[in-house]
Each structure stands twice: as C-alpha cells, then as structure tokens.
Amino acid sequence: MPLRESPRPAARGSCPAAREARSAARESYPGWARVPLPPRENAAPQRESRDPQRENACPAARECSPAARERPGPQPERHGPRRGNRDPLGGSRGPSRGNGVGVGEDVSMNALAQLAALVAGLIHVMIFGLESVVFRRPSVQRTFGVGRDDLEAVRPWAFNQGFYNLFLAVGALGGLTLLHSGAAAEGRALVLFACGSMLAAAVVLVATNRRMARAAAIQGAAPLVALIAVLV
C-alpha cells in the first residue's frame, strides 16, 4: 500500500495579503530591518557568560571579578597599641600580651621604695639648707665639725656641696613625680640613679672621715632602703 505523503503546513507569510503588507511596510520605512525587537515579557534574564580558562589562568582576575567584589571577604584584625598595666602605686608593668604577662622588665615601684626615696629626697633638701643657707650658725658649724677659725675657708665649699645635695634631691623627687605621671620607666630610672648617688656619697663620707659616720648613716640609710626595696 503506498504511503500517503502528509501535507506540509503553509509557509509563514505565504498568504498574498501578508506579502503585500510586508512590501508596503518596507517601502514606507526603509530602516525596518534595523529596528530592535521588543523584549519578550516572559523571557528569562540573560546571565553573564563566564570563561573558565580565563578565570583559572589568573587568580587576580577571579578576585577582581564583579562577583568577587560583591562577596565580602574576611576582614583583617585590627590590633591597636595596648597600654601598659597601671599600678595603683604609680608604676607600670609595660605593654601586656594576650595572656596578661607584661613584656620586658617590671618597671613598678612598691610603696616602701617610694616612701624611702621620698624621705631620702627630703633629707637632702634639709642638708642643702644646712650647708648653703644657715651654715654660719654655730649649731650648724658644730654639726659639721667646723671651728670659727676655719669658717671663712670652709664656707664656699659647703655652699657648693649643698647644691650637689639639692640636685640629688631633685632627682629623687622628680623621679617620683614622673612615676605618678605615666612615665614609669623614666621615673624609676631617675629614682634609682639619685638614690645610688646618695648612697655612694655616704660611703665616701664615712670612708674619708670616721667621725662623720652618724651623718653618713643619716644621708645613706633611706637611699639604701629604696634600692633594696626595688632591686631585691
């Protein structure tokens, strides 16, 4: 039985009326072929084409791609400078680590060391007054073992020696001031230097004149206590 050929559908626009309408449209508007077609209402949005070879070839291209810029990355941790641990007595224990242990040497001073340094500074201020201000008084001359005949020769020496003691006192008291003003390391160093110089002067005094042992003890006892309280 011969197969019956199925009729083909008529080609689109095969109607003579449709062909005439298209011809009329061409004649009335020559640039009809370049007019963009309106978008379809139910058309899916086009996705940006990706080139896998280009992305794999350059890691920087992947990081600089629009998708990578929109994706938030890990934020870097910000570690600001941490202040040192404040000591209620005016000292500081340096910058602290995460575990709370101070980095570097302990720069604090306990209450005993500060009190001894304060007493040492006040004693040397008093010595300055005796040697440079009221040295002409007989009671002061007897304290230093100076006779009336030697007063005029010794007085210039005593006047200058009094200022040496004043400078040592300024060092000790100024170091304590720095210690309570936030500069703990500088204040501690200044106190140690001043007290060490006071103790060394007391040792030299008793070594050259054994009769000045009492004066040397008054001059060097407080600095010695301050040094021991800090260093031991």
How far apart are alpha carbons 182 and 162 in whole angstroms?
Answer: 31
What is the average pLDDT across 8-36?
62
pLDDT of residue 231: 87
pLDDT tens digits, 171-183: 999 999 999 998 9
Listed residue (215, 223, 207) closest to 145, CA to CA: 215
Res. 135: pLDDT tops 70: yes
Mean pLDDT of 26-32: 60
pLDDT at residue 198, rounded to an integer: 96
Task: Convert the pLDDT of each residue in 188-202 to its tens digit.
Answer: 999 999 999 999 999
pLDDT tens, position by position, 201-214: 999 999 998 888 99
Report the pLDDT averaged over residues 17-33: 66
Residue 102: count other Cβ atoms within 10 Å of its Cβ. 16
Are the C-beta atoms of residues 124 and 116 closer than 8 Å to each other?
no
Does residue 93 contact residue 100 with C-beta atoms inside 8 Å?
Answer: no
Residue 98, pLDDT score: 39
Query: Rounded to the nearest 10 degrees, what angle do helices 111-132 and 213-231 cross at?
Result: 150
Q: Give the integer Cα–Cα distance in Å for 174 and 178.
A: 6
**Phi, psi of 102, deg, nearest 5:** -70, 145
CB count within 10 Å of CB 157 equals 12
Residue 167 has pLDDT above 80, yes or no: yes
64 half-sphere exposure, CB direction, 13 A CA radius:
5
User: How far is 128 from 113, CA to CA, in rounded Å?
Assistant: 23
| Domains in the chain: boundaries | 111-231
Alpha helices in 99-150, H assignment, sequence order: 111-132, 138-144
